[in-house]
């Protein structure tokens, strides 16, 4: 049972310019971001090059530290102009005039023949990734220098070209040298893999290899995040050592996972997990998961897909808190949260990875936690004690992970909320980190104290992802990804490995189940499907705020003062269904109901066989089978993910046809859930010009202005506010339900300063109804004067299809409660009738609906109508982010998802959720074979 807390419920008054961001403003932000990028790049080139980094406060170079223990500096500084290398792949996009000279400098000046000890992971993601990405950019350019000039978007005014002939640039001449540098660097990293397990050393000397006495300790992310760069290097150079070793290292880590599919944070090259034995998604582990999903995309290899989704199921089952928002470290053996328990800035990469994996719902939630952390501190602190709501490590070196996730979520949803998030990030970076020659690290996000260092990822990732966000640059196409350092890499089609025949058969029927995101436009008749409301209109938006700020009003006020916030709502503590578990199919043994047959570790075709035509799996013998079950990303329930070693992919079904279960069949088709209205709905109010005709909306093309969103409580009688089905769509103009077009609100005028209570029939003239402009309408009435049922009866006689009841004004401080006390409860109530459901009076109003909302909503709407001479309409949205995705299958048995099922087939249930791809059929029809 969910606990209910009194909290601040957000009512967003969307005045012009608040809800959406204009194209002009977005373009201004793109240009401003490009200007900041150029500022940082030019500052580095002027004051620091050829050093690896810039000192942005003193405007000088930052070199290696003579103290070998200062790995924070020395792991990255290889005396190779690291900042120039790291930004190389970003220059064609953001600062193209600097690209030719930068490529020339790298090709002619950079050498990896350096007597320095560096980190394998950092050199791979920053230098090797940049070189490979730049090689592919050069390879894509035309051969003709003048055409290269045009393709790069160069101008003769560029001051950094340094070419003798303007309007031409033969930058492609350096393509071979760039790949040669990449190959040379790769070979210098290979000695790190000379271990008995294949798990590489964390550090290597670029000239002499692994030094004597080198530490065997490495982290999961460092050893397991080499796949993308090493695989592409192997295939471009026809040197298979790199991909083979990176693949072996990745599998060496995965093969040492716990029974729960959890990995530790730190491991030795000998293959043993090291203390303290923690698992999570933050520092030391983050990019292992990222490279699993991205290797599956870039290499089109199900090995990595399978590992990723197994590891992700473990994350969602053990790392994620029950509310679905926090991903905290846990002990791998005891499966208990760490104490103290932190979330760190590196784990802000998670929403981006979740978008790529298809779990958009989870991505939205995890991103909201980091969004509130950012807006509380105007930056992202390195670590946060989430239970105590206290900052642990106050630094911020300009990390990109949160910005990257914002970009991915905007691409997935197109919700302008993420543009506004980016706008604040850009403003804060400019105000708090910009110096006269670059961008400083924040030593303390609370005091604003700066540190004299600019890490290369500030340019190569942070400002780059902001630029991509405002430029609305879409995701790369298939087989293309951004590395963990933001370098785009693409596996050419001719270098992809062709899938085997069994693998092609295995993948038949794939159909991603990630939810559809629909940002519903005014006048839309699209039925409710997927995630249908803006992020700030979600009920859990305020819950995420409370995780960072607490349950009081702190953090409610934001920069835009034109929004209305109202104290008096409720905030539910979310609770996520269990993500992954196993089930055992077995006929009931009446002598021992708890008996479970021993597992068959390798079931053969006599038990499980795949139908190669459909891709489905047929179980003929259930004895000893274990079925792994996982939550679907579209929120409709569960899917079987594996039958022992057999992988079940999205879109493939599992059909049980075991005659041993004959006595336990048929399993009836799962009935639709109780179709009565959800207790609360999200109401969207839209204003229109006074002359608007509502008869043909939305076909008239008239666009309204979104005013606000509010929560309403449905009556326990009257119409069921469920999503319309396909069969209802033709007559939707007479329905008031989720997903129906905007319906006009009729707000009768006040008489003697008293609002119309809806207890007596009034004329069309009094109500202000023009039937030439309005076919259907919802009547606004105030509480009191008569029963809720009587109000609905009167509204039906007037011709309304629904009633919006507005509560009484809140009592002033010190004002006594009236003797009767009715109508002055805080928050929402559900209108109810005193009669039984079957009573004739209830039956008479089954085709009209009633929703209750609070006084402040009515006042805002009345002001719009009376003071601004506007018409107002109402739309109903589901307050449950997952409800839309389930709507048709839950509420309408005649939906296509119910069609074509066998007579004796049904869905098995786990609590209230079905296992969507599991079918149990009695092939003998209940008769002996």
What span, in angstroms and rounded, lies between the C-alpha atoms of 218 and 199?
Answer: 9
User: Which among 736, 722, 804 is positioned nearest to 776, based on CA atoms?
Assistant: 736
What span, in angstroms and rounded, lies between the C-alpha atoms of 648 and 917?
Answer: 10
User: Which among 568, 651, 644, 572 is positioned nearest to 608, based on CA atoms?
Assistant: 644
Whether the bond between 72 and the residue before it is cis, its omega within 30 degrees of 0, is: no
- Catalytic annotation, pick one of 75, 344, 401, 854: 401
What are the structure tokens assigned to 786, written together? 């008569």
H or E segment to which residue 29 belongs: helix 23-47
What span, in angstroms and rounded, lies between the C-alpha atoms of 131 and 141?
Answer: 16
Angle, vertex CA 634, rays to CA 570 and CA 482, nearest 5: 105
Angle between helices 350-357 and 401-413 (to 10 degrees): 30
Binding residues: 484
- Catalytic annotation, pick one of 52, 290, 382, 415: 382
- Catalytic annotation, pick one of 286, 290, 344, 542: 286
On whether the CB atoms of residues 920 and 656 are closer than 8 A, the answer is yes
* Residue 875 bears catalytic tag: no
Name 479's bridge partners. Answer: none
Q: What is the secondary structure of 142-209 as a DSSP string?
A: -SSHHHHHHHTT--TT-TT---SSTT---GGGGHHHHHHHHHHHHHHHGGGG-SSSSPPPSEEETTTB
**Coil vs helix vs strand at 877:** strand
* Residue 170 bears catalytic tag: no
Q: What is the secondary structure of 512-533 as a DSSP string?
A: --PPPB--PPTT------SB-S
What are the structure tokens assigned to 531, written together? 């995630």
* Residue 382 bears catalytic tag: yes
* Residue 122 bears catalytic tag: yes
What span, in angstroms and rounded, lies between the C-alpha atoms of 335 and 278?
Answer: 9
Quote the DSSP letter at residue 809.
P
What are the structure tokens assigned to 172, written together? 């492609």
User: Which among 291, 388, 290, 288 is positioned nearest to 343, based on CA atoms?
Assistant: 388
User: Which among 586, 600, 579 is positioned nearest to 643, based on CA atoms?
Assistant: 600
How does 561-582 read in b/e, with b if 16+ C-beta sit within 10 Å? eebbbbebbbbbebebeebbee
What span, in angstroms and rounded, lies between the C-alpha atoms of 723 and 226?
Answer: 47
**Coil vs helix vs strand at 376:** helix
Binding residues for Ca(2+): 484
**Coil vs helix vs strand at 860:** helix
What span, in angstroms and rounded, lies between the C-alpha atoms of 913 and 577?
Answer: 9
Full 3-state SS string of 812-849: CCCCCCCCCCCCCCCCCCCCCCCCCCCCHHHHHCCCCE
- Catalytic annotation, pick one of 122, 301, 378, 793: 122
Q: Which pairs with CB-CB distance under 8 Å and at least 24 residues apart come from 231-238?
A: 231/295, 231/298, 231/299, 231/491, 232/132, 232/298, 232/489, 232/491, 233/128, 233/132, 233/182, 233/183, 233/186, 235/491, 235/492, 235/495, 236/132, 236/135, 236/179, 236/182, 236/495, 237/179, 237/183
- Where in the sequence numbering do the catalytic residues fall? 122, 286, 382, 401
């Amino acid at each position: 049972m969910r606990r209910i807390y009194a909290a601040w419920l957000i009512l967003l008054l969307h005045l012009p310019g608040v809800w959406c961001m204009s194209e002009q403003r977005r373009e201004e932000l793109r240009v401003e971001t490009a200007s900041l990028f150029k500022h940082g790049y030019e500052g580095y080139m002027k004051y620091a090059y050829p050093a690896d980094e810039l000192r942005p406060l003193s405007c000088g170079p930052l070199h290696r530290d003579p103290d070998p223990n200062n790995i924070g500096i020395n792991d990255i500084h290889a005396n190779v102009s690291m900042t120039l290398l790291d930004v190389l792949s970003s220059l064609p996009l953001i600062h193209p005039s600097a690209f030719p000279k930068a490529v020339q400098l790298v090709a002619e000046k950079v050498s990896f023949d350096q007597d320095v000890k560096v980190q394998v992971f950092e050199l791979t993601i920053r230098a090797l990734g940049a070189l490979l990405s730049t090689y592919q950019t050069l390879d894509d350019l035309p051969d003709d220098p003048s055409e290269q000039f045009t393709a790069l978007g160069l101008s003769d005014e560029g001051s950094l070209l340094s070419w003798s002939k303007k309007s031409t640039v033969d930058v492609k001449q350096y393509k071979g040298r760039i790949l040669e540098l990449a190959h040379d660097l790769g070979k210098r990293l290979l000695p790190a893999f000379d271990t008995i397990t294949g798990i590489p050393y964390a550090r290597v000397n670029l000239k002499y290899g692994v030094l004597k006495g080198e530490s065997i300790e490495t982290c999961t992310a460092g050893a397991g995040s080499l796949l993308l760069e090493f695989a592409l290097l192997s295939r471009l150079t026809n040197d298979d050592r790199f991909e083979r070793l990176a693949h072996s290292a990745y599998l060496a880590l995965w093969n040492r996972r716990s029974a729960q599919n959890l990995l530790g944070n730190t491991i030795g090259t000998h293959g043993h997990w090291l203390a303290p034995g923690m698992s999570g998604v933050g520092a030391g582990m983050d990019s292992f998961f990222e490279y699993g999903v991205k290797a599956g995309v870039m290499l089109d290899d199900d090995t990595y897909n399978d590992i990723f989704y197994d590891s992700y199921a473990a994350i969602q089952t053990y790392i994620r808190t029950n509310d679905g928002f926090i991903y905290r470290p846990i002990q791998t053996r005891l499966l208990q949260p760490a104490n103290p328990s932190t979330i760190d800035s590196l784990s802000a990469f998670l929403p981006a990875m979740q978008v790529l994996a298809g779990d958009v719902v989870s991505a939205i939630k995890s991103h909201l936690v980091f969004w509130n952390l950012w807006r509380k501190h105007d930056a992202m602190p390195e670590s946060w004690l989430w239970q105590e709501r206290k900052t642990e490590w106050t630094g911020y070196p300009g990390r990109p992970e949160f910005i990257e996730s914002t970009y991915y979520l905007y691409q997935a949803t197109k919700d302008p909320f993420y543009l506004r998030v980016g706008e604040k990030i850009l403003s804060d970076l400019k105000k708090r980190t910009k110096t006269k020659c670059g961008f400083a690290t924040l030593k303390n996000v609370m005091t604003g104290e700066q540190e004299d260092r600019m890490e290369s990822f500030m340019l190569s990732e942070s400002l780059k992802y902001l630029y991509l966000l405002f430029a609305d640059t879409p995701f790369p196409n298939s087989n293309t990804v951004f590395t963990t350092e933001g370098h785009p890499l693409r596996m050419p089609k001719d270098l992809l490995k062709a899938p085997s025949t069994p693998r092609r058969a295995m993948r038949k029927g794939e159909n991603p189940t990630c939810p559809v995101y629909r940002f519903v436009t005014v006048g839309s008749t699209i039925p409710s499907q997927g995630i249908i409301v803006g992020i700030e209109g979600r009920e859990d938006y305020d819950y995420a705020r409370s995780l960072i700020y607490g349950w009081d009003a702190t953090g409610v006020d934001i920069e835009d003062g034109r929004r209305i916030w109202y104290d008096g709502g409720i905030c539910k503590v979310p609770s996520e269904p269990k993500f992954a578990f196993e089930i055992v199919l077995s006929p009931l043994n009446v002598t021992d109901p708890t008996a479970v047959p021993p597992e068959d570790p390798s079931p053969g075709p006599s038990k499980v066989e795949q139908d190669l035509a459909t891709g489905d799996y047929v179980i003929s013998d259930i004895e000893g089978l274990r079925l792994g079950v996982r939550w679907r990303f579209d929120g409709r329930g569960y899917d079987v993910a594996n039958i022992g070693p057999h992988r079940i992919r999205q879109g493939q079904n599992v059909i049980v046809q075991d005659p041993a279960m004959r006595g336990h069949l048929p399993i009836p088709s799962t009935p639709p859930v109780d179709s009565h209205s959800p207790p609360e709905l999200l109401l969207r109010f839209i204003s229109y010009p006074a002359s608007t005709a509502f008869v043909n909306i939305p076909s008239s093309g008239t666009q309204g202005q979104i005013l606000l969103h509010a929560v309403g409580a449905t009556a326990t009688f009257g119409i069921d506010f469920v999503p319309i089905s396909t069969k209802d769509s033709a007559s939707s103009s007479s329905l008031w339900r989720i997903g129906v077009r905007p319906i006009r609100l009729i707000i009768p005028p006040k008489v003697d300063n008293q609002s119309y209570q809806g207890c007596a029939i009034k004329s069309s003239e009094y109500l202000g109804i023009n039937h030439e402009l309005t076919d259907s309408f919802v009547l606004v009435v105030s509480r009191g004067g008569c029963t809720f049922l009587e109000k609905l009866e009167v509204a039906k006689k007037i011709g309304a299809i629904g009633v919006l009841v507005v509560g009484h004004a809140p009592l002033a401080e010190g004002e006594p409660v009236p003797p009767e006390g009715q109508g002055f409860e805080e928050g929402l109530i559900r209108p109810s009738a005193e009669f039984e459901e079957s009573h004739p009076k209830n039956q008479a109003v089954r085709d009209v609906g009633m929703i209750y909302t609070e006084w402040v909503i009515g006042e805002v709407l009345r002001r719009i109508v009376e003071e601004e001479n506007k018409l107002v309409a109402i739309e109903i949205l589901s307050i449950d982010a997952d409800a839309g995705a389930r709507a048709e299958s839950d509420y309408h048995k005649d939906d296509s998802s119910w069609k074509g099922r066998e007579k004796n087939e049904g869905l098995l249930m786990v609590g209230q959720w079905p296992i969507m791809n599991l079918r149990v059929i009695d092939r003998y029809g209940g008769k002996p074979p």
